[in-house]
Structure formats: structure tokens, C-alpha cells
Amino acid sequence: MNSPILKVAKFEVVRQLKKPSFWASILLMPLLIGFIYFISFTFGSEEVNTNPTIDENTTLAITDDAGILAANTPYVINGNKEYGIEHVKSGEFDLYFYIPSDFVESKKAEFYHVSEGLDLFNFDANILKGILAQNAAARVDAVDVISLTGNFEIVDNKLTINGEDENALGKAVIPISILVVFFMFITLFGNRFLMATVEEKENRVSEMILTAVTAKHLIIGKIIAMMTLGAVQVVTFVVPVLALVFLNRDNQFISMILDSIVIDPVAITMNIILFIAAVLFFAGTCTFVGSLVSTARDASSFIGPAIIAIVFPLYFMQLFFASEPNAIVYFLTYFPLSAPIALMMRSGFGTLGGVEFTIGLIEVSIMAAIMIRLAIKTFQKNAINFETVKLRLRLHKK
């Protein structure tokens, strides 16, 4: 390992990994989530909603081939499964349940509805449980075993019209998860980035170290180190969460989420590429701010507004759901600081085309390069200036 960049990176990574505070900060969040999960599953119960509310504008139909429902149960129709599905497709039924003849043995009912885009978790499926609990008088044995306990599966069948899969949110799960990882990165690592750059000045080491290594190597080494530590942090956070999901994959809520996920390779690839560019941009911004100031305290007053600008698109998330982006969404997409998150959201929700992706990626990459370059230049010039640079605005009277 002869490169000074790697030597700097190794020093920075090893010293952080040795600190108990580093592990405490990254384990705190998964432990907290685990604790909340444990509490909710220990003290919570999966009670059947025995009083389902159905919107008066919603048309509901049930075909009961198992003969489990009482004769006067509302919504039960005489038509068979095909009839029900056709009426869902034609828009006459919003929700359609099919209870097959082997329902008691298979413990499976079927649910049909037209996918309406952002419907990741369709809680309408539980309506059948409530109806069964109230109206399953016809077969008391089945009521005891299945209906009242709610211990049966409802297979959710989202129907598509003209072959178009409109499950946009299902497609968005993985790309948006990448955005969540970026969000975690900036919230958990912003301060660490600043500290890493300010430390040499705060400890008056910069003059000595700059005779052993160039500012360029020092800054790039630190950025690599922080990105490595970020990866450690994300893995430490994500692995327990994935393990919990895997261990509880039979849980109705979790299986519903898992069933809803649609793999969209294009959006996932776009967001991975945008994530890398965004992390570099953020790292460059933090190191640039760090190189301008002389103490971590000074740095925090500069970086706060920058982080707010970066996460700003999240306040307008609702606007990003629309299939046609409006002026605000376009502004957030191309405003340098808000671009990374806006681009990732649009890619996740399927409203970012190839051309816009390319323009956005080029913009974020150029900004990252500019910020890193500025950080190096400023650190070089400002390394032995132990006072925060004062930004002066001079007004010239003509």
C-alpha cells in the first residue's frame, strides 16, 4: 500500500473503527428499531376487524363457493370467479373476493382489484376477515377454526388493464430504499465528514502533515475513508433489519410488503449510480465547508443550511408521486443541492427518463468534482489559517 491516499484512508478508517462511540452511534438505530419491533409484536395483537368500513362509493362483491357465509350476507353474488374478475376489469366492482370450495382445508381466499398505482399495502384485503367474522354463521366449525381467528391467507391479485402493470410503489420500494440509505448517510455522517476535515486545523497538525502528504491526497484519502465507514455503517444497520424481515417473512404484514415489491432493474441501476454521485457530491460539500472553517463548531453553522437544501425535496414528496412532474419538481431536480434526492425520488417513482437521468447525473457528478476540487484548493490555502474564513461582500460605489 504505497499510495499516500490509501495510507490516509487506512489511518482514518482504523482510528474510527477503534472508537466505541462509532459503534454506539451506528448500533443505536437498529437496536432501537429492534426494540420497537419487539414491543409491537409482543404486546400487539392481530385482531380481526369485525366491523369493516367500506366506502359508500366502493363496490364490493364476494363469490362464496365454500358456502361459509350466511345466506343474507351483503355483497355475496351468484356469479362465479371469472364473472367477478371480468367485472373488476370492467370497473363495475372495485373489490372482489373469491372464497373457493376448499377454503376450510386450504385456508386461502382470493382478492381481486385493479392496481391503482401507488398501492403498496392494500389493506382492503382485510375487509373479508371482518365480513367473515360477522357473517360466517353458516358453518360454525369453519368460523371457529378460521374466520374468527382470522387465521387464513388472502391472496392479493392486482389486476392490470391493457397489460400495464401500474404498481408504481411496488417498483419504487428498492430504488427508494437506496434513497433512504443516502438519507441515513447524510444525517449520520455529515458531522463526521466535517470533523475529519477540520481536525487537522483544530489540532494544529495541518502544517506538519502537509509536508508529508499533499492536500489533494489528504482530502481524497479522507473522503475514501468516510465512504468506507459509511458502508460499514449501512451494512451494520441493514443486515439486522434484513435478518428480522427474513425471520418474520411469514408475518402477514411483512409478507404483504414482500409480495408487493416489484424488481425494476432500470430504476435500481439509475439510483445506485445516482447514489454514488450523490455521496461524492455530499462528501465534497462537507469537506469544502470543513476546509473553509477552523473549528467543528463553525462548520456546523455552515453545513446545516446545506443539509436542509439537500433533503428539501423530501418535504415535497407528494408532488413526486404525480406521473407528470410540475415546475417545482423540475426546479428541485436541477437545483444543484436538491438534485441528488429529487433525481432519486423521480427515478424511484418512474418519472425520470433516460435523458433527464443523464443530464442530472452529469450535473451531480460535475458538482461533486467541483466541490472536491474546491475542498482541496481551500484546504491547501487555508490549512494554516486557524481562523474561519470571513466571507465578505464588498459593495463598490461607482
Partner 1 sequence: MSNIVEVKNFKMKFGDKTVIRDLSFDVKKGEIFGLLGANGSGKTTTIRALLGLYEPTAGELLVDGKKYDAEDTDVVIGYLPEERGLYRKEKVIDTMVYFGELKGLKNPLEWSLKYLKRVDLLDKADEKLEKLSGGQQQKVQLGITIMNNPKLLILDEPTKGFDPMNRRLLMEIIDELYQKGTAVILITHYMDEVEKLCDRALLLKDGKAKAYGTIKDIKKEFNNKSLDQIFIDIYGGKDE
Q: Least distance to partner 1 from the beta carbon of 220, Å?
A: 12
Q: What are the C-alpha distances in Å from 314 to residues 268, 308, 311?
A: 19, 10, 6
Beta strands 108-114 and 95-99, pairing class: antiparallel
Out of 208, 242, 258, 272, which residue is the one contacting partner 1 (CB under 8 A)?
A: 208
The x, y and z cell numbers of residue 61, run together, are 362483491
Site for partner 1, residues 168 to 207, rule: CB under 8 A: 199, 203-205, 207
Q: Measured between alpha carbons, how far is 153 from 143 in angstroms, rounded to an integer?
A: 15
Q: Measured between alpha carbons, how far is 27 from 23 in angstroms, rounded to an integer?
A: 6
Q: Measured between alpha carbons, how far is 188 from 280 in angstroms, rounded to an integer?
A: 15
> Judged by CB under 8 A, does residue 386 bind partner 1?
yes
Q: How many helices (H) and strands (E) does the chain have?
A: 16, 4
> Judged by CB under 8 A, does residue 359 bind partner 1?
no
CB closer to partner 1 out of 214 and 252: 214
- Phi and psi at residue 249, in whole multiples of 5°? -65, -20
Q: Least distance to partner 1 from the beta carbon of 341, Å?
A: 33
CB closer to partner 1 out of 324 and 396: 396
> Judged by CB under 8 A, does residue 210 bind partner 1?
yes
Residue 100 near residue 106, CB atoms below 8 Å: yes
Instruction: Please identify, among the stretches 91-99, 235-243, 319-327, 378-386, the one whose residues bind partner 1 according to the rule CB under 8 A.
Output: 378-386
Instruction: Please identify, among the stretches 7-15, 118-126, 150-158, 315-323, the one whose residues bind partner 1 according to the rule CB under 8 A.
Output: 7-15
Q: 10 Å Cβ neighbour count for 74? A: 11
> Judged by CB under 8 A, does residue 212 bind partner 1?
yes
Q: What are the C-alpha distances in Å from 264 to residues 109, 176, 179, 269, 347?
A: 28, 11, 15, 9, 10
Q: Least distance to partner 1 from the beta carbon of 346, Å?
A: 41
Q: Least distance to partner 1 from the beta carbon of 302, Å?
A: 23
Q: What is the DSSP letter of 251?
A: S
> Judged by CB under 8 A, does residue 220 bind partner 1?
no
CB closer to partner 1 out of 87 and 222: 222
Q: Measured between alpha carbons, how far is 67 from 198 in angstroms, rounded to an integer?
A: 73
> Judged by CB under 8 A, does residue 3 bind partner 1?
no
Q: Least distance to partner 1 from the beta carbon of 24, Å?
A: 16
Question: Which residues contribute to the site for partner 1 (CB under 8 A)?
Answer: 4, 7-8, 11, 15, 199, 203-205, 207-214, 216-217, 383-384, 386
